[in-house]
Amino acid sequence: MAKNLILLGLPGAGKGTQADFIVKDYPVVHISTGDIFRANLANNTELGQKAREFMDAGDLVPDEITNAMVADRLNQSDVEAGFMLDGYPRNEAQAEFLDSYLSNNNKSVSATLYFEVSDSLLRQRLLGRGRADDTPEVIDNRLAVNKAANLPLVDYYQRAGVLHTIDGGRQLADVYRDVKEVLDNLD
């Protein structure tokens, strides 16, 4: 059975690191919305051109364009064995679109992995990255914005019965052991 996964968590929660582990052990394709956007922009696709208009104006790309890009990516043959979405959905409307799209293609979300980490540890991790724009003020704002987007999704997938909360504040191996336990019990 294909594993179709969603990774949720605030910046610094370790989604990317855990995604790297998952793709080594499971036949899933890691799909980052950032990669999808970059590919559409680089290839100057119709969707990429539409997205660029909003991005150049400093606006968020509307859900319908983002949804279309994700649907296009999920139509590609390499995701038949399973996929792992990172950075999508970003809101409940996108989650509803994804559920509808998958249902229309006889698929569903197998599991949503929510990496929960304390605010203080997230701040520490993000400050430790050493990026010039990672000031305490910017980090606090980024966490607040992402929390406002993530928490409704946590509730949404909890109601759907596919949410698995994982303590992301521990050692990488301990976190991944819990991830494997969830994924191995999906079949």
Q: Which residues are annotated as a binding site?
A: 12-17, 33, 38, 59-61, 87-90, 94, 129, 131, 142, 170
DSSP per residue over 86-131, as a string? ES---SHHHHHHHHHHHHHTT----EEEEEE--HHHHHHHHHHT--
Under 8 Å CB-to-CB from 113, ≥6 apart: which residues?
Answer: 5, 6, 7, 8, 18, 164, 166, 179, 182
The amino acid present at 154, given as its one-letter code, is: V
Q: Which residues are annotated as a binding site for ATP?
A: 12-17, 129, 170
Q: Of all helices (H) and strands (E), which one includes residue 31?
A: strand 29-32
Can you say how many angstroms the Cα of residue 42 is from the centroid of all Cα atoms in its chain? 21
Q: Indicate the helix (H) or strand (E) that contains 76.
A: none
Amino acid at 90: R
Report which residue type is found at 10: L
As annotated, the binding site for AMP includes: 33, 38, 59-61, 87-90, 94, 131, 142
